[in-house]
Amino acid sequence: MWRRVAGVVRQPEPPVQAEVTAEANSNAPEVRVRAFRMGFVGAIGVLLAVFLGGIVGQLSTVILYIALALFLALGLDPVVSWLQRRGMARWLAILLVFLFVIGLFVGLIATIVPLVVEQVTTIVENWDQIVEDAANSDLVAWISSIAGGTTWIEDSIGFLGDWLGDPKNIGALTGGILAVGAGIAGGLTGATIVLILTLYFLASLDAMKRYAGRFVPASSRNGFVEVSEEITGSVGRYVIGQVSLASINGVLSLIYLTIIGAPAPILLAFIAFLGSLVPLIGTLTGAVIITLISFTAGPATGVAAGIYYLIYMQIEAYVLSPRIMSRAVSVPGALVVIAAVAGGTLGGVLGALVAIPIAASLIIIVEKVIFPRQDAA
């Protein structure tokens, strides 16, 4: 800026230039570049992030157990609330519901485990006969006739039977007897932990909601409570609805597979039940597995099972699911597939089961919190 002093126009003085200097007696301003300190702090931040990521990775199974127990508690809470509205004390309602869940769990284990042991024992004792019957079955003969009468199918079955008949190959395939035993023990331990956590969460669910609301400012607390109640209620209805659909599929599969003479109908019905717990893709996956196993009893049995599941999936999609899941949040099909695949990749079957309610909760948050804020902006 030009300045006029006593009629004389003076040019502006140039700004003082800062320079980096190592001389202690310099009069120029000193700029200290603390590159070492910045790099050191940044390195500590990276190491801390890696450390926390490693802890989360190590605790992924525990986190999965907690999430599954929380969603089970949310699924059982509507039943407890229904009993409370009928005049029953909450502690008694929780006790009755939990005893029913434990009884159902023990009943399934007592039914499925002996059946699996019996089937495995039968397969091991009659393995050679099973391979021979498979190579000479009507299905293989039909496929061979279509392929021009070649014998490569029979040869492949014989080679596969000899390979699976070697205990060393089975041990390498499954990781050994110790690995299988450790997996079974880990599964039982995980189920026990989930049941215990479910009981604690179910007993303290109201207190957990109130405590979570304390982290929200008082001005926004009412809205938070409203959204959280809707999320917990919708997730609970979703869990109950999905278990109901899975139970219907399991019971109907047991009846139908018994009628058509499918092998191990109880075990196949249990597979159908587990598959239906994962919506959209679970029922289809279970139907494919059951149909393929049913073909071992004969082409007619396999075709009958395939036709049944084609019809059942249409009834489930257009009749059962809309009626049962009408009060639960609607999850788009694409999001169901993405959530199930992502959850299965991170946590296996349990991860796939937990991922769908998480996706439903995110949809509620988007619809009740994010969209209204965007519309009001």
Tens of pLDDT, residue by residue over 244-277, are 888 899 999 999 998 998 888 888 888 898 888 8
The tens digit of pLDDT for each residue in 321-359 reads: 777 766 666 667 677 777 777 777 776 666 777 777 777
What does 53-76 look like in DSSP terms, one character per residue? HHHHHHTHHHHHHHHHHHHHHHHH
**Low-confidence winner among 138-142, 173-177, 226-230 (lowest mean pLDDT):** 173-177
Report the half-sphere exposure of 282 (CA within 13 A, side-chain side).
27
What is the Cα–Cα distance from 5 to 12, expressed in whole angstroms? 12
Structural domain boundaries of the chain?
62-203, 232-377
- Partners of 30 in the beta sheet? 19
Select from 284, 293, 240, 245 the least CA-distant residue to 266. Answer: 293
When pLDDT is averaged across residues 186-206 and rounded to a whole number, the result is: 82
Residue 264 region by backbone torsions, left for phi larger than 0, else alpha for psi between -120 and 50, else beta: left
Provide the pLDDT confidence category of residue 310 given band limits of 50, 70 and 90. very high
Q: Which residue has the higher pLDDT, 281 or 287?
A: 287
- Cβ atoms within 10 A of the Cβ of 331, count? 19
Give the pLDDT confidence score for residue 133 in this predicted structure.
67
Identify whether the C-beta of residue 97 lies closer than 8 Å to the C-beta of residue 76: yes
The CA-based dihedral angle spanning residues 246, 255, 115, 105, taken in that order and rounded to the nearest 10 degrees: 30
